[in-house]
Structure 1
């Protein structure tokens, strides 16, 4: 009798497993979607299709609105899951990226390198001439394009100005990490190396190839990008797909991997102008302190981020095929690229799918 029951259980288990396997085979694989380069068409996917928690949506949107957000998008496999606008902002309104746009400069530097126009290991002065700093020639010649990409130029970071008189020696290039506007010199490098204006080269090689809108606006020493939220999402989608737009290579994967992984030994949470989550320690702007743990402990460890003043955000999460965009005014009184806003926001985002 016991043997008979055991046999029946084995048979039932086999039938059940076969049924589950058959049902699993009928579920189509989710491919990566890329919206057309022109028009407003963009495929969507519902919360219910993803089997996410519908009850977590409104608390997330309420928090975003409370924290001075203007727009918010979640993409999964390139499809829009949530797209919301607040406080009079619309899908056609441009907004500034602030320092989140540093990642555009990083990407363009990589594109210029893959076209053999420059090499990031070469000294900056090879492209824009000597005397771009107030350092001695020997000190200046230590600074490579890669040092600008990794915030390790060694230049004094107590001022945001990038005229030669303001670019003063603090340490040898590569020996000190400090968040500094001097990265904008890479735009001059790319312009000189390509023989084009920065904006023309950017539009031709990146913006127009992935259907972005937007323009570069000069604000003080910074060249700041402004665009719609969907354009920011397009760039995030390109990065989620490792530099490819559909089957077109915009940025080669080798450079992409360098850019989105730890780029030096001082700040483990920094790539080539990208912030990296999930590292054992990190540095913050305007600080030489080392902070232990992940930058945003409530977010996935594999996430890499473009972060800008007043909480402009591009979150890219490869393990979840997800891109998240937030544009707006400062969530709190603290206007740094990183704040407690990120931690609480991710608690509410993760409630959607946990």
Structure 2
């Protein structure tokens, strides 16, 4: 029979071990660890919104291609539609911008640049705009005369010309040739051109030899991402605005990295101050109704200047990487959720807030699921 003191130590030791196990973090290795999939009315309501009957003729309405939900580092839900499967690298469109921000964050943590460095220091073709800093570009506030229109005004669209016509061979140079309309930092204007100048500046930051592999060595490989494809233009510059492809499960790894403040296992892959910058509203932004607030190449559910949250039914600390036709990587730290949605939305039916409201009801632990 153990002595009372020894017994006390044994009980204390079991408590410490049990507490450590209770708070052990789940991380994906080759695949995601699996958690219990919720059931019940909340899940049915979520699926009725996210995956309605799909009309491949009109291509109207909510058209989710994939939804993956991670809670506390465990995969608890996934569903695919159309031609998308678990192993399909899906075009992310402008989610690419937030991925670029994460790649730059690794370089920032390596001490390769400062946010207020002039962009032209790393991309000399941008020398006509000496006052524009990397911070300005990350906040989409370069002040360049840029028109970010797609199907609705293609003739006047800077982004359509950059991606598909006269700018497609060298997208950063095409952007650099735009006039300085207002001083940098004074006016928010969403710009895929700003993002592609950042992608060109990354080459100067890390060096031409390291550049072709840098997104993989810096970000994708440490996270265990194997599906990533990132297209370049004819100048060899990554199309940081638009052209990354990843499986939904792999994109969720980036979301978990951001949910855990840039830490991956025991490694602080992204500095905490970089993640804080990503999640800080751009100073030049003036709120519009139902519009997510821009941060450092991420989108925020933040209140600004007396305006309400853009997504009222989601926690205020929710932030996201968003792309054309409904691509989204949502990070909900308060709910301990990461949600990837790939889609083929061709009209304005889809609503972030409605999706997030139903997702929180179905998947957050507070529901008791």
Q: Are 2:307 and 1:313 aligned?
A: no
- Tell me the SS of whatever aligns to 1:306: strand
Which residue of structure 2 aligns with residue 171 of structure 1?
A: 182
Contact conserved, 2:186 with 2:284, CA < 8 A, in 1? Answer: no
Which residue of structure 2 aligns with residue 208 of structure 1?
A: 221
Q: Structure 1 residue 29: deviation in Å?
A: 2.6
Length-normalised TM-score, structure 1: 0.79
CA RMSD of aligned residues (A): 2.5
Length-normalised TM-score, structure 2: 0.76
- Tell me the SS of whatever aligns to 1:310: helix
Q: Which ranges of structure 2 fall in alignment gaps of 5 or more residues?
A: 1-14, 53-61, 148-157, 163-171, 288-292
- Tell me the SS of whatever aligns to 1:171: coil
Which residue of structure 2 aligns with residue 292 of structure 1?
A: 307
Match of 1:33 among 11, 15, 26: 26
Q: Distance in 1 between matches of 2:220 and 2:91?
A: 15
Cα deviations by residue, 1:283-334 (Å, 9 ceiling, x for unpaired) = xxxxxxxx9321211211110110111111111111121101100111x513
- Tell me the SS of whatever aligns to 1:98: coil
Which is greater in Rg? 1
Which residue of structure 1 aligns with residue 82 of structure 2?
A: 87
Q: Which ranges of structure 1 fall in alignment gaps of 5 or more residues?
A: 1-21, 282-290
Which residue of structure 1 aligns with residue 358 of structure 2?
A: 348
- Tell me the SS of whatever aligns to 2:250: helix
Q: Distance in 2 between matches of 1:315 and 1:199?
A: 28
Contact conserved, 1:216 with 1:223, CA < 8 A, in 2? Answer: no
The number of aligned residues is 304
Which residue of structure 2 aligns with residue 233 of structure 1?
A: 252
Match of 1:64 among 46, 50, 53: 50
> 103-112 or 230-239: which moved more?
103-112
Q: Distance in 2 between matches of 1:164 and 1:346?
A: 35
Q: Distance in 2 between matches of 1:120 and 1:198?
A: 19
Change (3 A) 1:26 1:126: closer
Q: Are 2:94 and 1:99 aligned?
A: yes
Which residue of structure 2 aligns with residue 249 of structure 1?
A: 268
Match of 1:132 among 126, 131, 147: 126
Cα deviations by residue, 1:70-92 (Å, 9 ceiling, x for unpaired) = 11011111101111111232110
Q: Structure 1 residue 54: deviation in Å?
A: 2.2
Q: Structure 1 residue 198: deviation in Å?
A: 3.8
